[in-house]
Amino acid sequence: MSTIVVTGAARGIGLELVKTYLAKGDKVVATYRTSEPPIALAQLQGTCQLTLHPLEATDSQSIAAFAASLADTHIDVLVNNAGVIGPDHQSYSDMDVEGWKHTFEINTIAPLMITNALLSNLKKSPSPKVITISSQMGALNRESTGMLAYRSSKAAVNKVMQVLALELKAEGIIVCPVHPGWVKTDMGGDEADITAQESAEGIVKLSQSLTMKESGKFFTWEGYEHAW
């Protein structure tokens, strides 16, 4: 049985990740932002394998409190899933700059801060892994317009994770950003290609198969390497 931490687990991909890991028999620690656990997440709490904890990913005190709550718990897989699509106005000619900053705080900075706060827990695992949910919309080889705040935050977190993989290699910690697919969620919309369950199942399978030789690479939810 592995111990998994999933941030941003209240809905969408995060919620399905929790369900998928629980179905495998793993112990899951899931975070949410609200004062009380969302109904969909709370309904899963009938199993002793699930622990729920509030976490504001942009608040250093909240991150510290979350890390303290885990004490000496070992973590086998950390999934940095919490993320936002960004402000309504995010074109080059009409940018909500404060919204852009907030997008970077959640999508780019928070995954690094949370990973750093949980390093001691990860080091207790024989094969620790850090999976950060990114997006191919941040891939530099793709030429497309719009969603500048979101795209730039995902391109940035890809680089953060690539560097982190190099720096944590000596610790035996595997680090990979993952494109979850175009998913039917509040963020992805109803016209998306796959369901949150399909995406989550693929990500869980990937997280099980990753070895140190894959650390620092960018993957798709299907397990294929994605160009940067």
Residues 69-128 have pLDDT tens digits of: 998 899 999 999 999 999 999 999 999 999 999 999 999 999 999 999 999 999 999 999
Mean pLDDT of 189-196: 77
Q: What's the pLDDT score for residue 85?
A: 93
Calculated CA dihedral for residues 151, 153, 154, 156, nearest 10 degrees = 120
What mean pLDDT is predicted for residues 208-225? Answer: 95
Q: At residue 187, does pLDDT exceed 70?
A: no
β strands within 37-135, DSSP E: 50-54, 77-80, 90-91, 94-95, 129-133
Compute the residue count for the chain.
228
Spell out a b/e string for 73-101, using b for 16 or more CB atoms within 10 Å of the CB, else e: bbbbbbbbbbbbbbbeebeeeeebeebbe
Q: Quote the number of domains for the chain.
A: 1
16-38 pLDDT, tens digit per residue, is 999 999 999 999 999 999 778 88
pLDDT of the residue at 188: 62
Apex CA 29: angle with CA 25 and CA 31, to 5°?
Answer: 140
Collapse the DSSP code of 220 into the 3-class scheme (helix H, G, I; strand E, B; otherwise coil) and give the result.
strand
Average pLDDT over residues 200-209: 96
Highest mean pLDDT: which of 42-46, 69-73, 172-176? Answer: 172-176
Sheet hosting strand 174-179, strand order edge to edge: 50-54, 27-32, 3-6, 77-80, 129-133, 174-179, 219-220
> Phi/psi class of residue 112: alpha, beta or left (left: φ > 0; alpha: ψ in -120 to 50)?
alpha
Q: Please report whether residue 113 resides in a domain.
A: yes
Phi, psi of 16 (to 5 degrees): -70, -30
- Judge whether 169 lies within some domain: yes
Cα angle value 175/4/112 (rounded, 5°): 40
Residue 227 is assigned to a structural domain of this protein? no
Angstrom CA distances, 194 to 63, 67, 204, 224, stand at: 32, 33, 15, 16
Q: Which are the catalytic amino acids? A: 134, 150, 154
Q: Is residue 226 part of a domain?
A: no
Q: Is 172 left (phi over 0), alpha (psi -120 to 50) or beta?
A: left
* pLDDT > 70 fraction of the chain, expressed in percent and rounded: 96
Confidence class for position 189, pLDDT limits 50, 70, 90: low
The answer to whether residue 164 is domain-embedded is yes
* Run of H or E including 177: strand 174-179
Please say if the pLDDT value at position 186 is more than 70. Answer: no
Write down the residue that tokens 């979101």 correspond to: 150
Rounded distance between C-alpha atoms, residue 80 and residue 54, angstroms:
14
Q: At what angle do helices 148-168 and 110-117 cross, to 10 degrees?
A: 30
**Residue 164 sits in which domain range?**
3-220
Residue 30 belongs to a domain: yes
pLDDT at 39: 86
CATH number at residue 76: 3.40.50.720
**CB-based contact 214:174 (threshold 8 Å):** yes
Look at residue 177 in the predicted model and tell me its pLDDT.
98
Q: Is residue 20 situated within a structural domain? A: yes
Q: Which pLDDT band holds residue 132 (cuts at 50, 70, 90)?
A: very high
What tens digit of pLDDT does each residue of 49-61 get?
A: 999 999 999 999 9
Confirm whether 225 is domain-assigned. no
pLDDT of residue 75: 98
pTM of the shown model = 0.94
